[in-house]
Amino acid sequence: MAFNKINVFDKMTPEMHQALLKQNELVEDAFSTGSSIEEMRRNYEKEREFWNEGGPEPAKTIDLEVEGPHGPLPIRFHYPENRIGNGAIVFIHGGGFVVGNLDTHSKIMRLLMEETGSVVIGIDYRLAPEYPYPTQIEECAFMVEWLRQHAEEYGIDGEDISLAGDSGGANLSLGTALYLRDQTNDVSYLRCLLLYYGAFGLTDSKSMRLLGGDYDGLSRDDLLEYTRMYLGENKDAPYFDCFSNDLTKAVPPCYIAYGDLDPLQDDSKLLYEILSANGCNAELEEFRGVIHAFLHHSRLVPEALKAIQGGAKFYGSAVPCKVPEN
């Protein structure tokens, strides 16, 4: 339903509005869920090509394919020129669990590498609906464990791993941390989570009612369709609906960022309130005048780099959340 929505175009920054015009010039209806899966992916990849041009160049990039729980799993290491410490950030890309890959999020990963001074490792997890939940959680958790086992081989500290992601990748980052906690009872090696405009479990909210449409591909129908494709026949999904999981203990420090024109912003706000109320280290940062997925638009939108820098600052000072004594 398009009625009752806020006119976001009057509230956007001039740069955000320019980015939207460029988006439509590149691919009209780039994020429509009314297309076939193949067309959705082609449109998404084509539209993202422009935004991934330029940016920091790694000192070294390594592409690998490791044997994961569901078959071969492509991963990509980016090593910065000016490296700080031996920590590593596993970056989990967004795209509603349905679209996206290592190339569509290349610049975000390279900016994160540059601003943190850390090795950033992207994971090309399997996409829904062909591979529904919990395939993606299992692959991301496997990637973290594999990285710890092979840390010395790739010059990183297996006791200093962080997770980062945008949109669906933010959901997967938090879900993966909770899954690892529940499966192994130890996530002390997770320095922090950098969570950019994620959906963490709300099925309806004030922001969803007021915001979202064709311009960002997040109308109510779009959100329902992404969820349907991701969950498939699964009814119980505590690593998707993170608000139905236990967020009161052993959650790594979280940097949570969102745009004030994002229909998913209430997820970020609620996550922050729950974590803060339970003594976990969490920081919430709002970026005004920008929509969902603004990190991609760093060529035009200054808030994109500011959000990366905000996450990098949090990463540099993060101290893991202690588990309360029973």
What per-residue confidence (pLDDT) applies to 323? 47
pLDDT one-digit tens code per residue, 133-152: 999 999 999 999 999 999 99
User: Is 317 annotated as catalytic?
Assistant: no
Mean pLDDT of 103-126: 98
When computed from its CA atoms, the radius of gyration of the chain, rounded to whole angstroms, is 18
CA atoms of 56 and 53, how far apart (whole Å) = 10
Task: Note the pTM of the prediction, 2 decimals.
Answer: 0.97
38-89 tens-digit pLDDT:
999 999 999 999 999 999 999 999 999 999 999 999 999 999 999 999 999 9
Cα–Cα distances (Å) from 201 to 254, 255, 266, in that order, read 16, 17, 10
DSSP string, 264-315: THHHHHHHHHHHHHTT--EEEEEETT--TTGGGGTTT-HHHHHHHHHHHHHH
Summary mean pLDDT of the chain = 95
Q: With left for phi above 0 and alpha for psi between -120 and 50, is residue 212 left, alpha or beta? A: left
CA 271/CA 82 separation, integer angstroms: 33
Q: Which residue has the tokens 């820098």?
A: 309
Identify whether 214 is a catalytic site residue.
no
Please report, rounded to a whole number, the percentage of residues in the chain having pLDDT higher than 90.
93
For 198-224, what is the mean pLDDT? 95
Q: Is the pLDDT of residue 260 over 60?
A: yes
Alpha helix segments (H runs only) across 117-162: 135-149
Name the pLDDT band for 235 (thresholds 50, 70, 90). confident
The catalytic position among 17, 78, 93, 292 is 292
Residue 91 and residue 48: Cα distance in Å, rounded?
Answer: 17
pLDDT over threshold 60, residue 322: no
Q: Strands of 60-68's sheet, edge to edge?
A: 60-68, 71-79, 119-123, 88-92, 161-166, 190-196, 254-259, 282-287
Q: What is the pLDDT of residue 28?
A: 81
Question: Catalytic one among 167, 173, 207, 268?
Answer: 167
Higher pLDDT, 257 or 30: 257
Select which of 262, 266, 296, 298 is catalytic. Answer: 262
Catalytic status, residue 260: no
